[in-house]
Amino acid sequence: MAISTSSSERKYIVPAVERAIHILQLLAQESDGLTISQIAKRLPISKSTVFTTLTTLKQYRMVDQVEDTGRYQLGMGLFILGSTVVETLNIRATAYPILKRLANDMGMTTHLGICDEGEIIYIEKLEGQGPIKISSAIGRRMGIHCTALGKAILSQLPEAEVQAILAKKGLSRRTPNTKTTLEELQADLVRTHERGYALDDEENELGIRCLAAPIKNYRREVICAISSSGTHDKVSLDRVDELAKQVKKAADEISATLGYVPA
């Protein structure tokens, strides 16, 4: 499938990446696979370049080589990436009506977020009624340690995985309330796991509190989280438990729709 680009865009195209994409698109049309020579005949690419490109793709499991025939086929790595995209799209479609209802019921902004490379990405946002708007946007990346979404997800992961993420990304300070030591954050994650929801107590943005709960799939894996955010007076500390129940209920409903069954 060729993608048309303007002349101004062409100057930003990376030739090696484009060649790899053309090879993958060609292999997608041939269920029995193709040899290096066959690919070189079908595409304006030399055999040596086809070989080095396939070798790189094979290293990352984007293609597999059939031992008996030497033919190359699409690999499991592509399936894994594709499945992730499909699952993300399914999650958004499944979560949307529940998020919308939660935003209306609570009068607060709701988010759906996933963890990617140790950061939180907002993949859905619905504004609650009221004059106060939260400075977030779909596609925006935020710190995993200082957001309720991030802490809800971290609280469900093995300790070794949590430490690996934090070692790579660090614990940067966003506000005076941000937890910037591993000990502080670990204690918070234990509390989060026990009560089933995370609290961002003005740790990411002053004046804003956020409550989040994790979402799990049919394999009982945490795959994302939902949150509700509001001003510190709307989400007063004496109302946290009351408001968190609504967020947890919505998260549990989404999880059940995705096939999650509690142990």
Residue ranges per structural domain of the chain: 12-74, 82-257
- Band (2; pLDDT cuts 50, 70, 90): very low
Instruction: Give residue-wise pLDDT tens across range 26-64.
Output: 999 888 899 999 999 999 999 999 999 999 999 999 999
Share of the chain above pLDDT 90, in %: 71
Spell out a b/e string for 174-186, using b for 16 or more CB atoms within 10 Å of the CB, else e: beeebbeeeeebb
CA–CA separation, 30 vs 8, rounded Å? 33
Mean pLDDT of 183-199: 96
Task: State the pTM of this model.
Answer: 0.69
For the chain, the average pLDDT equals: 89
Q: How many CB atoms lie under 10 A from the CB of residue 30?
A: 15
* In the predicted structure, residue 86 carries a pLDDT above the cut 80: no
pLDDT above 70 for 8: no
Q: Tell me whether the CATH fold assigned to 12-74 matches the one assigned to 82-257.
A: no
Domain 82-257 classified CATH 3.30.450.40?
yes
Residue 92 pLDDT grade (very low, low, confident, very high; cuts 50, 70, 90): confident
Residue 11 confidence (pLDDT): 80
Stretch 216-235: mean pLDDT, rounded?
Answer: 92
Region 141-170: what's the mean pLDDT? 94
* pLDDT at residue 183 in the model: 94
Say what the pLDDT of residue 131 is: 55
pLDDT given at position 259: 84
CATH assignment of 12-74?
Answer: 1.10.10.10
Q: What is the pLDDT of residue 133?
A: 59
**pLDDT of 4 strictly over 60:** no
The pLDDT value recorded for residue 108 is 92
